[in-house]
Chains A and B, each alone.
Chain A
Amino acid sequence: MKRLSPDIKHALAAGYVLGTLRGRARSRFDAMAATDGELARFREQWEAFLVPLAGRVAPVAPPSRVWRAIEARIARPRERGATGIWSSLAFWRWIGAGLAAAAVALLVLSFGLRAPVSTEPLLVAVLATPEQVPRIVVEQPREGLLRLRMVKPWPSMQGRDLELWVIPQEGKPRSLGVVPADRDAEVRLAGLEVKLQGGVAFAVSSEPAGGSPTGQPTGKVLCSGAIARGRRA
């Protein structure tokens, strides 16, 4: 990604909040702000600047059917301990998109590594941002070991840490520990196989330094991807 000057970032953030930044440019901004802390901060500032103006609009009561529809849509209980993002539709859409990315990765692997079957990983997942930018490839070359290949590092985490999670089909995310934001890494954990059991996806969230204080994700999900299991698994 191109490096943008603070002035340009401010101009973009202002256009975003004012509403003149539209369509694809708007989505691109969302994508950039997900990984660029400064840009996200500028957007917050502009929101604090401009959005209070909206308070001047004379209220218009919405019809009661709107609340009834909202009530119906929030009827399902939110999972306790999980933050909103984990139960949000958007999150599961990312997972869905991650599945596509993982399928592509498997395709590439099966092309590239067709001959020596033994090198095929037990599982692979391409963790991509909501905007489908691949950030990390997770592979399991053998039991007890996960290898993380950093496709696109995070330049600055501003004192926060990345935490890797495996998302089971049912139940809460399980932590696989804090991982570096700027380089490849290996995860060796006692009980790794148990944690991975029933896992359908990986996700990486932004957490306070040292990892989530609650044992469950508390911060923004930066990237995620569905797990594709190899033939050996």
Chain B
Amino acid sequence: MPMPLDDADRLASLLAASATGDRQAFAELYRASSAKLFAVSLRIVRERQLAEEVLQDAFVSIWNHAPDYARAKSAPMTWMAAIVRNRSLDVLRRGAREVEDVDEALASVLVDESAAPARDAERAEQKHAIGDCMGELESDQRQSIALAFFHGLTHSELAQHLRRPLGTVKTHIRRGLARLKDCLDRAGVPGHR
């Protein structure tokens, strides 16, 4: 049985050790989290070469900022994934990709990502309230939010892909986020101070 990737305590202690300059711990942190984080970036930038660069930059940044993690309030995987996502979104150039590719890439994954329940113990662990709350959204809202989140689509890319007016897409996102926030507030999601 492989160790769960998001064993938060284990990742947190590897981060803490990395903060003190422990390269072995950092290598282990990489082994434990890089496949997940690579996949996160790959979905957004959609080019292996670019995703490799993002992963490299992100891990150098994680190494440099590991001492800051102690002050962060978030789970280790969330903290690292946020770094990877930010880097991915930074390197994306608007209009650099074809919307057609998006259709193909998405057809198979969209439904399970936006609605399906977590499939194994590891995912169940990470499922968090967000999974349930996503399930409460209307399908248009859920689809737009999932596309934006997983694939880094902008409002106008979403409008093209979904063949909807820009204003409609923006409304779906805005209302969807508002409902998510209500739901997550009710669920008492950590992250509040």
Nearest CB on B from A162, distance (A): 17
Majority SS at the chain B contact face: helix
Report the Cα distance A20→B151, complex, angstroms. 10
> Cβ of B39 and Cβ of A58 under 8 Å apart?
yes
Q: Which B residues are in CB contact (< 8 Å) with A17?
A: 82
Known contacts A44-B191, A60-B35, A66-B34; A85/B65 CB under 8 A:
yes
> Cβ of A52 and Cβ of B56 under 8 Å apart?
no
> Cβ of A67 and Cβ of B34 under 8 Å apart?
yes
> Cβ of A19 and Cβ of B123 under 8 Å apart?
no
B85 at the interface (CB under 8 A from A): yes
> Cβ of B89 and Cβ of A19 under 8 Å apart?
yes
Report the Cα distance A49→B73, complex, angstroms. 12
Report the Cα distance A67→B128, complex, angstroms. 30
Report the Cα distance A85→B66, complex, angstroms. 10
B64 at the interface (CB under 8 A from A): yes
| Chain B interface residue number, banded | 35 or more
Known contacts A20-B173, A57-B150; A51/B64 CB under 8 A:
no
Q: Which B residues are in CB contact (< 8 Å) with A56?
A: 113, 118, 123, 126, 131
> Cβ of B60 and Cβ of A80 under 8 Å apart?
no
Total residues of chain A contacting the partner, CB 8 A:
46
Q: Which B residues are in CB contact (< 8 Å) with A77?
A: 21
Report the Cα distance A53→B27, complex, angstroms. 25
> Cβ of B92 and Cβ of A62 under 8 Å apart?
no
Within 8 A of A (CB), among B49-91: 51-52, 55-56, 59-61, 63-68, 72-75, 77-78, 81-82, 85, 89-90
Q: Which A residues are in CB contact (< 8 Å) with B43?
A: 57
Nearest CB on B from A46, distance (A): 8
Known contacts A55-B6, A74-B60; A26/B90 CB under 8 A:
yes
7 additional A-B residue pairs with CB within 8 Å, beyond A18-B173, A19-B153, A78-B64: A18-B148, A44-B191, A47-B82, A60-B35, A62-B51, A71-B23, A87-B64
Question: Chain A interface (Cβ within 8 Å of chain B)?
Answer: 10-11, 14, 17-20, 22-23, 26, 41, 44-45, 47-63, 65-67, 69-71, 73-74, 77-78, 80, 83-85, 87-88
